[in-house]
Structure 1
Amino acid sequence: MSFTASLRDVTLKYKDTDALADVNLELEAGKIYGLLGRNGAGKTSLLSLLAAFRKPTSGEILIGGEPVWENAAVVSRVALIREGGDFDDADTVKAAIDTGQIRPGFDTEYALKLAERFELPLKKKVRELSRGKRSALAAVCGLAARAELTMFDEVHLGMDAPTRDAFYKELLAEYMDRPHTVILSTHLIDEVANYLEEVIIVDRGRILRHEELEVFQGMGATLTGPAAAVDAVAAGLEVLAEQQLGGTKAATVAALDPGARERAAASGLEIGPVGLQDLFIHLTEPTRKGA
């Protein structure tokens, strides 16, 4: 069974508020997706529906062509790992890892190897772990679940930079070794961009954009070079972000027409892809028409 995920006309209400409204989304199996959105945009609600933690108010959610709600055969192959993990019933790190064995594909040997890599003492009580170590434990359990659809909801929170880097590399290695579907919900956008194949932007409970990463990167450009030359080319363009160090400046613009591209090249400016984070901020700006 292909683990393609589909949301069709899905709405999720909390009392009188729409957490998600009329969502239609198709996720092909075997890709790494980035799920982006401002706080309260509906990211966690969407992941909770895919994991069957919640039932939609209306609409249909299918995984592999089958409804996910109250479908144990499908849900057992889906893992949603939330920030800090769900270890309330586990006493020690080893007990938390052992709990993962309820999943049919859970790889205990791999989990123990990861625990050593992330310096998680097996006998230490979960409640005594720092926020970063607890996040690392959640990541370990998510990777070792060997699920066909694995979703990480801000699981990196609390991790320091070296630990996050190790997590991303382990995630990619595991994905290459065993192709499956991964969804990363994160605010550290530029940090994970190089690992993503497709990006989904959720805004105010709706899917704002869903494109391949290259499409987003082609929506603008970053111009780098002497400040005066950058300003001259960027004049009249929509500037998303600017940075300057001494006489060198970088300006990210929303679009670069052929004429502006020619002027930039003639001025000796370096032309790079638009930063995904800058573009995300631009697309979800509350005052932006249509956002």
Structure 2
Amino acid sequence: MTGFSVELRGVGVTFDRPALQGVDLTLAPGVVHGLLGRNGSGKTTLLSLLAAFRRPTRGTVLVDGEDPFENERVLEGTCFVRESGDVMDDEKVSVNLDFVEGMRPAFDRAYAEDLLDQFEVPLSTKIGSLSRGQKSAVGASTGLAARAPLTILDEVYLGMDAPSRYRFYEALLRDYVEHPRTVVLSSHLIGELDRVLEQVTILHRGGVLLTDTADSLRERGSTFTGPRAVVDDVVADLAIDVLARTELGGTSQVTVVGHLDAQVLERVRRAGLEVGPVALQDLFVHLTDGRGEPGSVPTTTGKTTAAATAAATTTTTEEVDR
């Protein structure tokens, strides 16, 4: 089993206003996908469709080639976990594990208990008495241990502190290698997920802004590091957009957006600058800064404007919530 495939064709969801509109998306099986988007972009709505929590207003949703709604086979192989999981607060952690074990045919109880031990979550404590971070650890641990062909983790690690989140990322990668499946991660902690994701989909204003491999996205930009005057001269000469700038003493680092071929990169290196990859978070913020419409990626050709340069005087560190 390498995981379930996902396909959405012309999908729209309308509440009091459109939440999703014209979504066409294919998620390959056996891949770790990142679903990124700002507040109100439609991430949780889309994930709820995959888990058959609701039906689309229009369009078609297919999971492993079938409509997931009221589909016992598909639902049995789909695990959707939100930040604290779907837990019984008035029951002990161990009782919650009993419940999940009875619902999930591939659930590995020993692995779940081992993860909870690593997160220092006592099995004999009632869920309602746990801290927010411990509740998140319960959700993350049961989500991984379920080993469902389609595993959906919607901000599941949000309540954890940084060491716990990194422990979770390491556990996810190790278990994914040993037990391949389709994993969909929704998060605003984009910088931390950079090394985890294989495929990235960005939702914007209820539509798919882009979907691409993480490596291809990183190639949409570069960082240049070196003496401030040299960096400024190179950026001006190449007529490329500056996304972010950091300065320390006489050294500058700029994040630039736009395709740079091998010849251009060699010119940059000959000027004495160090060339590095662009962070997914910086690129995400740039692509969803309000200029793009669903289905169209903002262009970044032409000289940097004065306003853009002023806005890029410090490195972008914004973490965008869902």
Whole-Å separation in 1 of the counterparts to 2:241 and 2:93? 51
Alignment partner, residue 270 of structure 2: 266
Post-superposition Cα deviations, 1:266-291, rounded to whole Å, max 9, x if no partner, equal: 21111111111111111101145756
**Shift of residue 88 of structure 1?**
3.5
Q: 1:277 aligns with which of 278, 281, 293?
A: 281
**Shift of residue 261 of structure 1?**
2.6
**Shift of residue 86 of structure 1?**
1.4
Q: Which amino acid in 2 is paired with 1:160?
A: D
Alignment partner, residue 110 of structure 2: 109
Alignment partner, residue 87 of structure 2: 87
Whole-Å separation in 1 of the counterparts to 2:135 and 2:185? 18
**Shift of residue 256 of structure 1?**
5.0
Alignment partner, residue 118 of structure 1: 119
CA RMSD, Structure 1 to Structure 2 (Å): 1.6
Alignment partner, residue 252 of structure 2: 249
Whole-Å separation in 2 of the counterparts to 1:275 and 1:111? 32
Is this contact kept in 1: 2:246–2:253, CA < 8 A? yes
- SS of match in other structure, 1:34: strand
Q: Structure 1 stretches of 5 or more lacking a match?
A: none
- SS of match in other structure, 2:62: strand
Whole-Å separation in 2 of the counterparts to 1:256 and 1:52? 39
Post-superposition Cα deviations, 1:79-102, rounded to whole Å, max 9, x if no partner, equal: 111012111365111112112111
Whole-Å separation in 2 of the counterparts to 1:288 and 1:26? 21
Whole-Å separation in 1 of the counterparts to 2:81 and 2:251? 42
Say whether 1:286 aligns with 2:287. no
Is this contact kept in 1: 2:106–2:147, CA < 8 A? yes
Q: Which amino acid in 2 is paired with 1:277?
A: Q
Is this contact kept in 1: 2:219–2:259, CA < 8 A? no
Is this contact kept in 1: 2:89–2:128, CA < 8 A? no
Whole-Å separation in 2 of the counterparts to 1:225 and 1:254? 18
Alignment partner, residue 243 of structure 2: 240
Q: Structure 2 stretches of 5 or more lacking a match?
A: 299-322
Whole-Å separation in 2 of the counterparts to 1:158 and 1:5? 28
Alignment partner, residue 39 of structure 1: 39
TM-score, with normalisation over the residues of structure 2?
0.86
Is this contact kept in 1: 2:89–2:126, CA < 8 A? no
**More displaced stretch, 260-269 vs 159-168:** 260-269
Is this contact kept in 2: 1:190–1:277, CA < 8 A? yes
Alignment partner, residue 205 of structure 2: 204
Is this contact kept in 1: 2:88–2:96, CA < 8 A? no
Q: Paired residues, what number?
A: 290
Runs of at least 4 residues off by over 4 Å: 288-291
Say whether 1:172 aligns with 2:173. yes
Post-superposition Cα deviations, 1:132-186, rounded to whole Å, max 9, x if no partner, equal: 1111110011011110010111111121111001000000011000111101111
Is this contact kept in 2: 1:225–1:250, CA < 8 A? yes
**Shift of residue 65 of structure 1?**
1.0
- SS of match in other structure, 2:116: helix
Q: Which amino acid in 2 is paired with 1:190?
A: G
Alignment partner, residue 72 of structure 1: 72
Whole-Å separation in 2 of the counterparts to 1:262 and 1:226? 17
TM-score, with normalisation over the residues of structure 1?
0.95
Q: Which amino acid in 2 is paired with 1:245?
A: L
Q: Which amino acid in 2 is paired with 1:27?
A: L
Whole-Å separation in 1 of the counterparts to 2:182 and 2:291? 34
